[in-house]
Amino acid sequence: METVMGNGNGQATSGGRAANAPHSDLVLPYGDQRNDGVVQVSFTLPVAAGPLAEEAARQTMKLMGLEDPQVAEATAIGEEFTFFVGYGKLTRAVELSKLRVAAPMWEELDQAAVNQLVQDTLGRPMVVVGAATGSDAHTVGLDAILNYKGFAGNRGLEAYSAFKVVNMGSQVPNEELVAKARELGADAILVSQVVTERNVHLANLTNLVELLEAEGLRDQVVLVVGGPRITHALAIELGYDAGFGPSTRPQDVASYLAQEVSRRMLN
């Protein structure tokens, strides 16, 4: 039976036996059969294609901890680089009972329940301002969460009477986002970060928190960040209230926002 515990930072820690492993919580990757440890990896080496590059690839996989490494594909990409697809076996298992997983604390609510909770809590729609900030020009994820049409039949926040949504779009300077949040009296700020080269997202996200603190707004808003490289643990570390990664649905964010605002009002 899985257990879930809060830790005071809006995080949950989960531990327990895997449902498909009744006698052991030690798990390895699945290749051709259960727990054979076979994995597929891909990478590029700055070595011209040829026997030397392939041997370098095998040694690279050994350094990853893979046994019996095999090169399945070696493709030249330019004169001095080779792209590899390889296979190997992991022998060290993950022990599920020792894992602690950070996740935002919320229960899934349907649209009617979200609308009712916000109305009961605030007596008005919750003002949500969203943007892809800094140099980030990617808005697919942000639009899926905020826009009425949502994603895969899951309506976005604009479809809820509980939210007044302002989508500022892409490449929004942090200063402009903070100014808009102050102008509108925002209850929540949603930030999308897809561009992560050289960890530019970390500096940008940190800068936003610092600006909100300098303006005296940080404690007045629910601050959420989302993106393919975002985890809740990272979000907490950077000073955010919650982080949502891949496969997040609009309903997930809506449920979290409604319950977080209600929690704050009760406290």
Residue 156 lies in a domain: yes
Residue 230: give its domain's CATH number: 3.40.50.280
Final residue belonging to a domain, choices 92, 125, 142: 92
Output the CA torsion sign for 123, 9, 5, 233. Answer: positive
Whether 37 and 157 share a structural domain: no
Whether 82 and 207 share a structural domain: no
Active-site hit among 89, 98, 149, 180:
149
Final residue belonging to a domain, choices 92, 126, 146: 92
**Amino acid 164: pLDDT:** 98
Whole-angstrom distance between the N-terminal and C-terminal Cα of the chain?
A: 31
Whether 150 and 194 share a structural domain: yes
Whether 84 and 116 share a structural domain: no
Residue 155 lies in a domain: yes
- 18: tokens are 């895997």
For the chain, what is the domain count? 2
Taking only Cα atoms into account, the Rg of the chain, rounded to an integer number of angstroms, comes to 22
CA distance 261 to 267: 10
**Amino acid 22: pLDDT:** 45
Tens digits of residue pLDDT in 130-153 = 999 999 999 999 999 999 999 989
**Amino acid 105: pLDDT:** 79
Whether 135 and 237 share a structural domain: yes
Closest CA to 261 of 102, 101, 116, 112: 116
- Domain containing 67 equals 29-92
pLDDT 10s per residue in the chain (267 long)? 223 333 334 444 333 333 343 447 899 999 989 989 999 999 999 999 999 999 999 999 999 999 999 999 999 998 999 999 999 999 999 998 888 777 777 899 999 999 999 999 999 999 999 999 999 999 999 999 999 999 989 999 999 999 999 999 999 999 999 999 999 999 999 999 987 778 888 999 999 999 999 999 999 999 999 999 999 999 999 999 999 999 899 999 999 999 999 999 988
CA distance 265 to 254: 17
Whether 72 and 119 share a structural domain: no
Residue 16 lies in a domain: no
Residue 1 lies in a domain: no
Residue 255 lies in a domain: yes
Whether 202 and 261 share a structural domain: yes
Residue 47: give its domain's CATH number: 3.30.30.60
Q: Which helix (H) or strand (E) holds 54?
A: helix 51-63
How many C-beta atoms surround the C-beta of residue 258 within 10 A?
A: 26
> For this structure, is 149 an active site residue?
yes
